[in-house]
Amino acid sequence: MTGRHGDPERGADLELRAVRGIGEIRPGDDLPAIVADAVSELEPRDGDIVVVTSKVVSKAEGRIRPAAEREQAITEESVRLVASRAHPGGITRIVEHRSGLVLAAAGVDASNTDDGTILLLPLDSDASAHAIAERLRSRFGAAIGVIVSDTLGRAWRVGQTDVAIGAAGIRVLEPVSVDANGRPLLVTAPAIADEIAGAAELVAGKADAVPVVLVRGLGRHVAGLDEPGAARLVRASGDDMFRLGSDEAYRAGREAGRIDALAEAGAAHAG
């Protein structure tokens, strides 16, 4: 970095690099070692963050099932149904995953998998991120953060973005205290880890099979390995104004209203 002003050659404030050379990942592969080997050419240093797509984590963990078991796998991976909708290709189920994530089809994925197979989300994405971060820190002797990313849909907006479903060694939420005028910003806490995962998706692309991206320039968000993981970014369903789809909530209310009214009418009639 040669200067902060007036110099187009000064270093970027934030840089992302695709990590090349990661081949097809197979069940049982030592993913932390593979990531460390591949990232070494970029000379990882203090403050770097490495984003790994959940897909390769799942493959290394052998989270593979026959495609015919897709509906069963979605059910097994879910703790409750949030919303569902029929469409020409079947029924889309938005569920709460056992991790607390709310997402379509419990994250069960049939893209970029071997034919006839599907891929489930990692068993514990924060633990997977932690294992990779430990390996990178020990191998390179540097404070490196790790994010495990996945592609999620959103309420209210078209298209999907990558977010952090696992994290280690970074502060996933920015602790914001005051605005530029010194007033407290109570409501706004940027979900740093999600924004990093989304930025990495811009580099990884969807069909390029680049599952690892190095992010340089966010050292202020890198912290100890005891930092809470991406589970911190999951809003508890009891605290969520959108914990249930609008149609599902309406139907539940309608049934409750009928039962109450009929009970009242019965009581009035009997009385």
CB 49 within 8 A of CB 145: yes
Judged by beta carbon, residue 182 or residue 226, the one nearer a second copy is: 182
Judged by beta carbon, residue 131 or residue 271, the one nearer a second copy is: 271
| Among the residue ranges 29-37, 59-67, 129-137, 247-255, the one whose residues contact a second copy (CB under 8 A) | 247-255
Quick note: the x/- pattern for a second copy over 183-222, rule CB under 8 A, is: x-xxxxxxxx-xxx-xx-xxx--xxxx---x--xxx----
Decide if residue 80 touches a second copy (CB under 8 A): no
Judged by beta carbon, residue 33 or residue 249, the one nearer a second copy is: 249
Cα 271 from Cα 260, distance rounded (Å):
16
User: Which residues in the 136-155 window bind a second copy by CB under 8 A?
Assistant: 151, 154-155
Cα 229 from Cα 190, distance rounded (Å):
15
Quick note: the x/- pattern for a second copy over 249-268, rule CB under 8 A, is: xxxxxxxxxxxxxx--x---
Cα 223 from Cα 148, distance rounded (Å):
16
Cβ at position 269, least distance to a second copy in Å: 7
Judged by beta carbon, residue 31 or residue 104, the one nearer a second copy is: 104
What secondary structure does DSSP assign to 19-68, as a single string?
A: --------TT--HHHHHHHHHGGG---TT-EEEEEHHHHHHHTT-EEEGG
Cβ at position 24, least distance to a second copy in Å: 10
Among 102, 101, 119, 122, smallest CA distance to 111 is for 119
Judged by beta carbon, residue 10 or residue 26, the one nearer a second copy is: 10
Decide if residue 227 touches a second copy (CB under 8 A): no
Give Cα separations from 249 to 131, 140, 162, 256, 267 (angstroms).
Answer: 40, 51, 28, 11, 27
Tokens of 207: 């069909």
User: Which residues in the 17-36 window bind a second copy by CB under 8 A?
Assistant: 17-18, 20-21
Q: How far is CA 3 from the centre of its chain?
A: 35
